[in-house]
């Protein structure tokens, strides 16, 4: 099927529900980006919600039950659920890119047309494991504090201090 706005193949099938009747659009990646970005209202400084809209599109490829299960999945480090990500268009922590890799990979391909970084790299060795573990420990410490379990909180704090060094 061809894109409704140009000659390329249509890879995006968007059902617009904002008007009186549902409207079906079939667009190629570039025209879809244009279309979706045009529909973002609000002041220019607001970060693009393209990811948000595209995340909603994932729904089209999945049965409701499957999606409901997916929505429940929560990152073990920061606790964000896939549902929360879909609605905000923002991820919770660096580990989400690993934990939700299966869902994010097609999304990232749709946004960028590419899946692999070819640019600059940090000079230091990114200590990935230690890093995201700290995220989990900080959250655990916060929750312990909220529950007023200060003994548990201080255990976590010690672990955090240990990792930070």
Partner 1 sequence: MSGPKLDELANRCGEWLRGQGPQSEIVISSRIRLARNLGTFPFIRRCSETDRVAVDKTFRDAIASIPEWKGLIYVNVAGELSAIDRQFLVERQLISRELSEATGARSVFIDAQETFSLMINEEDHLRMQVMHSGLDLDAAWQQISQMDDWLDQRVSYAFHDRLGYLTACPTNVGTGMRVSVMLHLPALVITQQIEKVFRSLQKMGLAVRGLYGEGSQAMGDFYQISNQVTLGRSEVDLVKQVAEVIPVIIDYEQQSRAFLVKESRKDLHDRVSRAYGILCTAQTISSEETLHLLSSVRMGIYLGLIKDLEIPTINKLFIHTQPAHLQKLRGMNLDTAERNVERAHYLQDHLRRRQNGGLGQN
Residues 107-136 binding partner 1 (CB under 8 A) are 107-108, 111-124, 126-128, 130-132, 134-135
Quote helix, strand, coil % in the chain, to nearest 5: 55, 10, 40
Q: Does 158 engage in binding with partner 1 (CB under 8 A)?
A: no
CA distances from 69 to 62, 74, 112 (A): 11, 11, 27
150 interacts with partner 1 by CB under 8 A: no
Under 8 Å between Cβ of 26 and 8: no
Find all residues with CB under 8 Å of 20, minimum gap 6, and list them: none
CB of 12 to partner 1, least distance (A): 15
Closest to partner 1 by CB, 21 or 121: 121
Q: Which is nearest to 93 in space by CA: 52, 61, 139, 56?
A: 139
Nearer residue to partner 1 within complex by CB, 9 or 130: 130
Q: Least distance (Å) from partner 1 to the CB of residue 65?
A: 25
94 binds partner 1 (CB under 8 A): yes
Q: What are phi and psi of 71, to 5 degrees?
A: -60, -30
Cβ of residue 126: shortest distance to partner 1, in angstroms?
4
CB 78 within 8 A of CB 139: yes
Among the listed ranges 15-23, 60-68, 138-146, 149-157, the one in contact with partner 1 (CB under 8 A) is: 138-146
Q: Closest Cα to residue 99, out of 85, 112, 119?
A: 85
Among 4, 16, 23, 37, binds partner 1 (CB under 8 A): 37
Q: Pick the closest to residue 32 from 8, 67, 63 (CA basis).
A: 8
47 contributes a contact to partner 1 by CB under 8 A: yes
Q: Which residues bind partner 1 (CB under 8 A)?
A: 6, 30, 33-34, 37-38, 41-48, 50-51, 77-80, 88-94, 97-98, 104, 107-108, 111-124, 126-128, 130-132, 134-135, 138-139, 142, 164
């Amino acid at each position: 099927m061809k894109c409704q706005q140009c000659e390329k193949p249509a890879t995006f099938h968007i059902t617009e529900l904002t008007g009186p009747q549902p409207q079906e659009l079939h667009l190629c990646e570039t025209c879809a980006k244009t279309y979706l970005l045009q529909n973002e209202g609000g002041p220019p400084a607001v970060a693009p919600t393209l990811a948000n809209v595209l995340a909603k599109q994932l729904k089209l490829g999945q049965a409701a039950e499957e999606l409901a299960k997916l929505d429940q999945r929560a990152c073990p480090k920061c606790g964000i659920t896939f549902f929360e990500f879909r609605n905000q268009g923002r991820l919770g922590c660096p580990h989400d890119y690993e934990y939700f890799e299966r869902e994010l990979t097609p999304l990232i391909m749709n946004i960028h047309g590419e899946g692999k970084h070819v640019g600059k790299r940090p000079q230091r060795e990114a200590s990935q494991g230690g890093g995201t573990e700290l995220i989990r420990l900080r959250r655990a410490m916060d929750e312990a504090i909220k529950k007023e379990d200060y003994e548990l909180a201080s255990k976590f704090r010690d672990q955090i201090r240990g990792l930070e060094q």
